[in-house]
């Protein structure tokens, strides 16, 4: 039996309703859970108290894409904070977004990302950004391979939460950007005819083969099977709590997990290695706040308030979040020493590239069990839990990607 859109929305737990007013609450959909969600609620509480406007926040998780595309517009939220940029340009979702007006000016690199090629209208504003090209290890230990081709992790040295497809796609994007930056750049924008043809070039297969080789060397079959059941947070614990692995490739927002379970000053990191003297890759991501048309001006006002730069000396729940780690913004430098360098890297316009899988729509769109994430999960399975040779598994993965891109 199919579920109605109203029933679908009702099944998503509303996390809180803040504020006190006779007005209907402003409905805000996010993808976070756990500590990130609790932090966000503290930020929203300040808005509700100041504006005397109730705000209902609910976590839609990966279902947020289905929610924004749904046929029943009465269940579409007033505001959405989304991690996948491609949703802004989805042919169903884009007409439902109220273009941004008023508010603050965004840095040019980030502004262009939320601006369609056929328009100068900004579709959203950046609430949170992320450096996705970091490799973490325990303090006091020496790590930093000279290049990707020299990175030969022994079995058990690498932790990967392969149950989360985005973890595997971050690996692929860093390797592809280091190995073939011209291919990475050519794959986007899809609005340009022929951009999908880049998936079929030999350099993609070569990058996938290099990636599969690193994975094969880092896991026994038993370790590979375990990694496939491990989520992102668990892979952090493997390095900093259980100490059963040595390094983990993870974005800056791994820091709160490290310090909660491993303690303070236990971690160090280095940039994801480049290729034989080439530039280190810099993959960036982030969460964009958008106002939906059904939310009216109130939704747009909330987006502009939420994403605004804080004045010098201003203190609130968001600046506390920035200072304590796990949150980067285009406007505020973090005070945590381990995040200063990752934040500074995000200012380098000449080398940063936005997360490729978060831009994709159609059959390659991310989501566990779907699109590029599924292809990479199957690649990881073949070369770690299975016995397929890296080159063979890489060629098969490339063919699946080409087929999906063509469709």
Count of CB atoms situated within 10 Å of the CB of 253: 20
| Range 86-116 burial, b when 16+ CB lie within 10 A, else e | bbbbbeebbebbbbbeebeebeeebbebbbe
Q: Quick check: bond before 301 cis, omega within 30?
A: no
Angle among Cα 96, 187, 88 to the nearest 5 degrees reads 10
Angstrom distance (rounded) from CA 203 to CA 208: 9
Q: Please check whether residues 303 and 247 belong to one and the same domain.
A: no
pTM of the model: 0.92
Q: pLDDT tens digit string along 194-219?
A: 577 899 999 999 999 999 999 999 99
Angstrom distance (rounded) from CA 40 to CA 47: 11
Count of CB atoms situated within 10 Å of the CB of 22: 5
Q: Please check whether residues 226 and 109 belong to one and the same domain.
A: no
Q: Please check whether residues 18 and 69 belong to one and the same domain.
A: yes
Encoded tokens for 6: 């109203």
Q: pLDDT tens digit string along 69-81?
A: 988 777 899 999 9
Q: Give the residue numbers spanning the domain of 16.
A: 5-130+286-345
Residue 8 has pLDDT above 50, yes or no: no
Q: Please check whether residues 138 and 272 belong to one and the same domain.
A: yes
Q: What is the CATH number of the domain that holds 195?
A: 3.40.190.10
| Structure confidence at residue 73 (pLDDT) | 73
Q: pLDDT tens digit string along 110-141?
A: 999 999 888 889 999 999 999 999 999 999 99
Overall average pLDDT of the 306-317 stretch = 90
Encoded tokens for 116: 């369609």
Contacts of residue 119, defined as CB under 8 A and 6 or more positions apart, other chains included, come to 99
294: nearest Cα among 138, 23, 73: 73
Q: Please check whether residues 141 and 177 belong to one and the same domain.
A: yes
Element (H, E) at 221: helix 221-227
């Amino acid at each position: 039996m199919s579920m109605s859109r109203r029933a679908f929305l009702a099944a998503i737990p509303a996390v809180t309703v803040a504020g006190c007013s006779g007005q209907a609450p402003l409905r805000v959909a996010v993808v976070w859970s756990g500590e990130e969600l609790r932090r966000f609620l503290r930020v929203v509480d300040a808005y509700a108290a100041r504006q005397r406007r109730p705000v209902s926040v609910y976590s839609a998780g990966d279902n947020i894409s289905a929610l924004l595309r749904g046929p029943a517009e009465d269940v579409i939220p007033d505001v959405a904070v989304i991690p996948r940029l491609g949703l802004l340009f989805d042919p169903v979702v884009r007409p439902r977004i109220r273009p941004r007006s008023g508010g603050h000016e965004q840095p040019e690199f980030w502004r262009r990302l939320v601006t369609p090629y056929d328009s100068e209208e900004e579709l959203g504003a950046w609430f949170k950004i992320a450096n996705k090209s970091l490799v973490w290890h325990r303090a006091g230990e020496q790590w930093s391979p000279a290049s990707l081709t020299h990175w030969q992790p022994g079995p058990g040295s690498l932790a990967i939460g392969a149950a989360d497809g985005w973890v595997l796609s971050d690996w692929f994007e860093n390797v592809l950007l280091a190995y073939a930056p011209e291919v990475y750049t050519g794959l986007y924008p899809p609005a340009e005819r022929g951009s999908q043809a880049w998936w079929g070039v030999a350099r993609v297969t070569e990058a996938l083969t290099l990636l599969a080789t690193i994975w094969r060397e880092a896991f026994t079959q038993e370790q590979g099977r375990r990694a496939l059941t491990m989520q992102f947070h668990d892979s952090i614990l493997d390095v900093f709590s259980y100490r059963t692995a040595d390094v983990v490739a993870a974005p800056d927002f791994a820091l709160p997990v490290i310090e909660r379970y491993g303690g303070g000053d236990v971690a160090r990191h280095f940039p994801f290695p480049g290729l034989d003297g080439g530039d280190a890759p810099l993959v960036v991501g982030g969460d964009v706040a958008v106002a939906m048309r059904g939310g009216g001006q109130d939704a747009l006002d909330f987006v502009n308030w939420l994403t605004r730069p804080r004045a010098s000396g201003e203190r609130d729940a968001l600046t506390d979040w920035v200072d304590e780690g796990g949150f980067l913004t285009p406007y505020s430098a973090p005070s945590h020493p381990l995040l200063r360098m990752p934040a500074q890297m995000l200012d380098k316009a000449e080398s940063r590239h936005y997360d490729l899988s978060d831009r994709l729509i159609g059959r390659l769109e991310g989501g566990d069990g779907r699109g590029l994430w599924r292809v990479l999960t199957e690649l990881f399975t073949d070369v770690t839990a299975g016995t397929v040779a890296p080159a063979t598994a890489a060629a098969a993965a490339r063919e699946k990607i080409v087929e999906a891109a063509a469709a």
